[in-house]
């Protein structure tokens, strides 16, 4: 083991904190001390084990456009071997929210693994998620198809068309808020049918209070004309299902990677290696104070559950704790404007009710009979219930459920810490979830075997509130040369695991290079998804060619982009 002269205190044992610790141990002589306030590693990406049934808070797909991140993951968990022997060793195409890439069967020189016999495995899963609305399932992303029109009914579809036409001819002159933005893009009726209620459930504020800029950043121009043209062309040239069509459908299936025991398995594995290599992980201590001298952080003070304080001197500090709390912890004069912006940062919180069921009431008809529906998750668009999404953990990984004959679901509610939902007792929340799922026809109340409630504060850093002045916080905190803000809440950024990890990796590189300018850390994930879609590396591969041919690059792909971008905001 290397002798380590300098110390880095890392606040938080989530993906960003553990990545920083691992990178420091493998690439430097700096000794990491990770301080985690909870009793489990993984942060928002942890897996909670409730009586042998595992919960993933929010549903974490593993996908990154960065080879570095993908290979890093494969160092810790091996890719599932192909179940078709003829394909053994062949590259595999995974896709996610309109992005797509190949992964080699044996990345990083490691062999692939069989999940039946091995545990450290990254499964390859098909994605399926639909919208539940009017007590019916709609495809996701919503597309103009005979099925959609049939389910919405001719009357509602015509009203959507007419209201769209109205906005094409007479757009709203003012486009300051998200509602006006949506209405000008989709028409009043489509906005109220498919966007308003879900967006407001997720963010907890009316769309009129969210800046239109947010929509402009996330939602690509959608041409309903092109969608109509595409629909008419497709309907008129309907061919019998043949081999080519089958091939196209297969290529359109989104696939993602997923640890056999949920996302937390990755982070438990990394934490184990960090400790094995000599790093320290202290659980159950919450960072309360950060002491500074001139432009450097010197000491981090943390309290355990009894309130006993421990002091940790640091040469470097990585923070993944919410920026707002970091600013409040600083034992120095914080300029009034910085404090004001920090106090004005907003968050959205999240609550999951896990329900173990004998069965779901809704079923999938297959040739082999009626089976469990194959969705990983379902967007609950029904305005008469508070539930926002339903996760079906059996379909993320069969190993998430201890008894495969049972169905293990997560009913997800978006809320604000301290509001009427958040403060309901566990018993009330369980009752609400069961009653709502029964009301919309998903379950029978008598099918519930067991239940649990999990609360996740600050799941979503919000891009409203004081966020537009975030630069004032950033320039103040960047002034502490040995303090590195990384991760999701650590930077108040909508970062997924991969971007959270990349910020940590970049910070470590800056230390190794002696670089004090932190702009390259802030530059991670500033490119919007829709910029990436058209330049995806696999654009010329047969699979994506098939995707593009079937989507005709324009109409359907744009719908996919718009909806994918929209749910980018909802999913993670």
Ligand X SMILES: Cc1cc2nc3c(=O)[nH]c(=O)nc-3n(C[C@H](O)[C@H](O)[C@H](O)COP(=O)(O)OP(=O)(O)OC[C@H]3O[C@@H](n4cnc5c(N)ncnc54)[C@H](O)[C@@H]3O)c2cc1C
For 499-538, give one letter per residue: b (16+ CB within 10 A) or e.
bbbbbbbbbbebbeeeeeebeebbebbeeebbeebeebeb
Sign of CA dihedral 373, 377, 381, 386: positive
Residue 60 touches ligand X, criterion: CB under 6 A: yes
Which of 36, 179, 349, 382 forms a contact with ligand X (CB under 6 A)?
A: 36
Residue 61 touches ligand X, criterion: CB under 6 A: yes
Name 568's Cβ contacts closer than 8 Å, sequence gap at least 6: 97, 218, 494, 529
Which of 28, 45, 80, 265 forms a contact with ligand X (CB under 6 A)?
A: 45
Which of 32, 58, 141, 264 forms a contact with ligand X (CB under 6 A)?
A: 58
Site for ligand X in 462-491 (CB under 6 A): 487-490
* Closest by CA position to 396, among listed 115, 100, 74: 115
Cβ distance 82 to 111 under 8 Å? Answer: no
**Dist. CA 379–CA 216, nearest whole Å:** 23
Residue 16 touches ligand X, criterion: CB under 6 A: yes
> Min. distance of Cβ 359 from ligand X in angstroms?
26
**Which residue is listed with tokens 């026809």?**
441
Find the part of the chain contacting ligand X (CB under 6 A) among 2-10, 33-41, 176-184, 515-523: 33-41
Residue 528, CA atoms < 13 Å, CB-side half-sphere = 16
**Dist. CA 288–CA 311, nearest whole Å:** 10
Of 190 and 421, which CB lies nearer to ligand X in the complex structure? 421
For 196-225, give one letter per residue: b (16+ CB within 10 A) or e.
bbbbbbbbbbebeebbbbbbeebbbebbbe
Residue 12 touches ligand X, criterion: CB under 6 A: yes
Name 437's Cβ contacts closer than 8 Å, sequence gap at least 6: 355, 387, 390, 411, 443
Of 265 and 320, which CB lies nearer to ligand X in the complex structure? 320
**Dist. CA 77–CA 58, nearest whole Å:** 21
Number of separate helices (H) and strands (E) present in the chain: 20, 24
**Dist. CA 87–CA 124, nearest whole Å:** 14
Site for ligand X in 293-322 (CB under 6 A): 320-321
Which of 8, 9, 10, 15 forms a contact with ligand X (CB under 6 A)?
A: 15
Of 167 and 488, which CB lies nearer to ligand X in the complex structure? 488
Which of 376, 391, 394, 497 forms a contact with ligand X (CB under 6 A)?
A: 497
What's the Rg (C-alpha) of the chain?
24
Residue 461 touches ligand X, criterion: CB under 6 A: no
Of 44 and 360, which CB lies nearer to ligand X in the complex structure? 44
> Min. distance of Cβ 541 from ligand X in angstroms?
23
Cβ distance 402 to 51 under 8 Å? Answer: yes
What kind and span of H or E run contains 257? strand 255-259
> Min. distance of Cβ 192 from ligand X in angstroms?
25
> Min. distance of Cβ 251 from ligand X in angstroms?
22
> Min. distance of Cβ 293 from ligand X in angstroms?
21
> Min. distance of Cβ 395 from ligand X in angstroms?
14
> Min. distance of Cβ 386 from ligand X in angstroms?
16
Residue 354 touches ligand X, criterion: CB under 6 A: no
> Min. distance of Cβ 16 from ligand X in angstroms?
3
Which of 31, 37, 400, 429 forms a contact with ligand X (CB under 6 A)?
A: 37
Residue 280 touches ligand X, criterion: CB under 6 A: no
Residue 496 touches ligand X, criterion: CB under 6 A: yes
> Min. distance of Cβ 447 from ligand X in angstroms?
26
Residue 353 touches ligand X, criterion: CB under 6 A: no
Tell me the C-alpha to C-alpha distance, in Å, between residue 507 and each of 266, 316, 522: 21, 10, 10
Residue 262 touches ligand X, criterion: CB under 6 A: no
Which of 118, 325, 402, 416 forms a contact with ligand X (CB under 6 A)?
A: 325
**Which residue is listed with tokens 């320039």?**
475
Cβ distance 409 to 359 under 8 Å? Answer: no
Residue 352 touches ligand X, criterion: CB under 6 A: no
Contact residues: ligand X, CB under 6 A: 11-17, 35-38, 43-45, 58-61, 286-287, 320-321, 325, 350, 459-460, 487-490, 495-498, 500, 571-572
């Amino acid at each position: 083991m290397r002798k380590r002269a300098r110390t880095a205190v890392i606040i938080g044992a989530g993906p960003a904190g553990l990545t920083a610790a691992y990178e420091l141990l493998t690439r430097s002589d700096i000794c990491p001390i990770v301080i985690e306030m909870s009793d489990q590693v993984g942060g928002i990406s942890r897996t909670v084990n409730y009586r042998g049934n595992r919960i993933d808070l929010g549903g974490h797909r593993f996908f990154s456009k960065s080879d570095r991140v993908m290979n890093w993951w494969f160092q810790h968990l091996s890719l599932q071997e192909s179940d078709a022997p003829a394909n053994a060793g062949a590259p595999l195409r995974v896709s996610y929210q309109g992005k797509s890439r190949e992964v080699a069967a044996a990345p990083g020189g490691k062999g692939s693994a069989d999940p039946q016999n091995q545990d450290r495995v990254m499964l390859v899963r098909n994605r399926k998620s639909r919208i539940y609305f009017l007590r019916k399932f709609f495809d996701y992303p919503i597309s103009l198809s005979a099925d959609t029109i049939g389910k919405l009914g001719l009357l509602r579809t015509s009203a959507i068309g007419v209201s769209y036409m109205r906005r094409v001819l007479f757009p709203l002159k003012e486009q300051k808020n998200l509602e006006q933005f949506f209405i000008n893009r989709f028409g009043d009726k489509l906005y109220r049918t498919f966007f308003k209620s879900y967006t407001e459930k997720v963010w907890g504020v009316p769309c009129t209070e969210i800046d239109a800029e947010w929509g402009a950043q996330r939602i690509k121009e959608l041409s309903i004309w092109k969608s109509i043209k595409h629909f008419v062309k497709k309907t008129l040239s309907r061919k019998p299902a043949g081999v080519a069509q089958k091939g196209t459908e297969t290529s359109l299936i989104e696939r993602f990677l997923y640890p056999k025991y949920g996302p937390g398995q990755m982070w438990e594995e990394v934490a184990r290696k960090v400790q094995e290599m000599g790093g320290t992980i202290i659980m159950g201590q919450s960072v309360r104070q950060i002491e500074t001298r001139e432009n450097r952080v010197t000491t981090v003070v943390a309290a355990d559950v009894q309130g006993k304080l421990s002091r940790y001197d640091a040469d470097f500090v990585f923070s993944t704790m919410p920026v707002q709390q970091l600013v409040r912890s600083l034992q120095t004069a914080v300029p009034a404007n910085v404090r004001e912006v920090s106090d004005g940062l907003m968050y959205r919180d999240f609550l999951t009710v896990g329900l173990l069921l004998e069965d779901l009431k809704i079923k999938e008809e297959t040739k082999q009979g009626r089976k469990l529906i194959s969705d990983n998750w379902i967007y609950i668009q029904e305005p008469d219930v508070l539930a926002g999404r339903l996760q079906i953990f059996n379909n993320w990984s069969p190993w998430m459920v201890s008894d495969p004959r049972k169905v293990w679901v997560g009913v997800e509610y978006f809320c604000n810490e301290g509001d009427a939902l958040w403060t309901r007792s566990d018993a009330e929340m369980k009752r609400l979830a069961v009653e709502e799922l029964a009301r919309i026809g998903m379950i029978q109340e008598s099918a519930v075997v067991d239940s649990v409630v999990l609360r996740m504060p600050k799941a979503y850093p919000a891009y409203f509130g004081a966020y537009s002045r975030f630069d004032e916080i950033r320039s103040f905190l960047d002034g502490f040369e040995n303090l590195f803000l990384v991760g999701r809440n650590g930077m108040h950024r909508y970062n997924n695991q991969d971007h959270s990890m990349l910020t940590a990796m970049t910070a470590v590189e800056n230390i190794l290079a002696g670089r004090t300018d932190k702009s390259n850390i802030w530059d991670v994930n500033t490119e919007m998804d829709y910029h990436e879609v058209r330049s995806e590396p696999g654009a010329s591969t047969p699979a994506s060619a098939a995707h593009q041919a079937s989507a005709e690059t324009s109409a359907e792909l744009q719908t996919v982009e718009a909806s994918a971008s929209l749910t980018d905001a909802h999913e993670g």
